[in-house]
C-alpha cells in the first residue's frame, strides 16, 4: 500500500524494526547506503557516503564500496533500509561487514564499533591568505548532531577573536543529521525576519516559513564549500545563507534531499515512516531530487566574493 505512493522514503517498519528505531541505545556505524544496479540490472548495495571520522570511515570503509555481508549474512536482495537496520545495535558493540572496494577492488572484512556518543562535528583553524593582511577562518562541519550549533558558535567566535574577517564553511560530505540543528546554525548568520527555509505540506498551498528571530551574530562574507554528498540539513544551511546574500557556494551540485518525515507507531508495535512535506529554499526552489548548483566551481578570490554578494538579489517574501 505504501509502495503505491511512489515515495522510496515512505516505508513500513516491522515491530522489531520500529523497536530498534525507538530505542535510544541503538545506533549504526555512520554510513549512507543506496541500491545501485550493475550493468546486468542486478541491485547492489553501495556506500553512498560516510560520516567523516565516523565508526565505518575510521575502520576502513570507503565511499563507493559495495556491501556484501553483515555479520556473515549475505545482503544480496536486501534493501538499503534492511541493511541499515542490520547494522544497528547497542552502542560500543561490534559489527562485522564485508565490503568490496571499488568496482573490481579487493574484498575486505572489517570490524566496526558502533557509536552513539555525540562527538564534536566541528573542526576549525585560522589561515593566512597570500597577498592579504586579513586571515580567513576555516570551519568544517561534519554532521548536524546535538553539539553542532554550540560548537559552531564557539568556533566562529574564537576565529573572530583571532582576527578572521572572512569565513569558509566546509559542508562537503556532510550528509545532514538533525534538521533543527541546521536551522539554528543558519539563524546565526541571518538578519531578523529573513527566511531560513519554507516547509510545504501535502497541500501545495500549505506553506510555512521559518525565519530568524534575532539579529545575526556573524556578518562577515562566507564561502560555503559543497559537493555531491552535501545533503539534507547541509542543503538547508547552504541555501539559507546563499539566498539571503550572506554566502557564495563553491564546488559541485549538492545531493538533493529535502523531505520532511514523521514516524507513526501502529497498534501491533509496528510503524510507518511517512513523508509529510518538503523543504523549499528562501527563493522558492525545491531542493529534493534537484540539488543546488554552486556559484563557482573553483575557489574564487575574496574580491570576487564581495562583488558577487554586493549584486545579489534578496528573495521576495511570501
Cα separation, 107 vs 170, in Å, equals 32
Euclidean distance between CA atoms 233 and 144, whole angstroms = 7
Distances, alpha carbon 304 to alpha carbons 243, 244, 309, in Å: 17, 17, 9
User: How many angstroms separate the CA atoms of 215 and 193, rounded?
Assistant: 9
Cell 515491530 sits on residue:
15
| Cα first-last separation, the chain | 36
CA dist 201 and 144 (Å) reads 23
- Known catalytic residues are 232, 257
C-beta separation of 30 from 57 below 8 A: yes
Secondary structure element (H or E) that encloses residue 124, with its range = strand 122-127
Q: What's the Cα-to-Cα distance from 29 to each of 69, 103, 121, rounded to whole Å?
A: 14, 22, 15
CA distance 3 to 274: 11
DSSP string, 34-75: EEEE-TTS-EEEEEEEE-TTSHHHHHT--TTPEEEEETTEE-
Residue 254's CB: how many other CB atoms inside 10 A? Answer: 28
DSSP H stretches of helix in 23-166: 55-59, 80-87, 148-161
Amino acid at each position: 500500500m505504501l509502495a503505491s505512493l511512489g515515495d522510496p522514503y515512505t516505508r513500513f517498519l516491522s515491530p522489531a524494526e520500529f523497536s530498534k528505531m525507538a530505542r535510544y541505545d541503538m545506533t549504526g556505524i555512520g554510513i549512507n547506503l543506496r541500491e545501485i544496479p550493475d550493468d546486468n540490472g542486478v541491485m547492489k548495495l553501495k556506500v553512498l557516503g560516510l560520516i567523516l571520522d565516523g565508526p565505518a570511515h575510521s575502520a576502513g570503509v570507503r565511499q563507493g564500496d559495495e556491501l556484501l555481508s553483515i555479520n556473515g549474512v549475505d545482503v544480496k536482495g536486501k534493501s538499503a533500509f534492511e541493511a541499515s537496520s542490520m547494522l544497528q545495535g547497542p552502542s560500543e558493540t561490534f559489527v562485522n561487514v564485508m565490503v568490496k572496494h571499488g568496482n573490481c577492488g579487493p574484498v575486505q572484512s572489517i570490524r566496526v564499533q558502533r557509536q552513539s556518543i555525540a562527538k564534536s562535528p566541528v573542526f576549525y583553524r585560522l589561515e593566512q591568505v597570500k597577498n592579504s593582511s586579513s586571515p580567513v577562518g576555516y570551519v568544517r562541519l561534519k554532521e548536524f548532531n546535538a553539539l553542532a550549533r554550540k560548537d559552531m558558535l564557539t568556533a566562529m567566535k574564537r576565529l573572530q577573536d583571532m582576527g578572521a574577517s572572512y569565513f569558509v564553511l566546509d559542508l562537503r560530505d556532510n550528509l545532514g543529521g538533525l534538521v533543527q540543528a541546521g536551522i539554528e546554525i543558519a539563524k546565526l548568520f541571518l538578519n531578523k525576519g529573513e527566511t531560513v527555509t519554507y516547509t510545504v505540506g501535502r497541500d501545495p498551498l500549505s506553506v510555512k516559513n521559518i525565519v530568524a528571530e534575532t539579529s545575526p551574530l556573524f556578518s562577515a562574507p562566507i564561502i560555503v564549500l559543497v559537493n555531491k554528498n552535501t545533503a539534507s540539513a547541509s542543503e538547508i544551511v547552504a541555501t539559507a545563507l546563499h539566498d539571503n546574500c550572506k554566502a557564495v557556494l563553491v564546488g559541485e551540485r549538492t545531493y538533493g534531499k529535502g523531505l520532511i518525515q514523521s514516524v507513526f507507531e501502529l497498534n501491533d508495535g509496528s510503524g510507518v515512516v511517512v513523508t509529510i512535506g518538503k523543504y523549499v529554499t528562501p527563493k522558492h526552489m525545491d531542493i529534493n531530487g534537484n540539488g543546488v548548483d554552486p556559484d563557482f566551481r573553483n575557489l574564487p578570490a575574496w574580491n570576487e566574493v564581495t562583488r558577487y554578494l554586493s549584486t545579489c538579489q534578496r528573495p521576495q517574501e511570501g
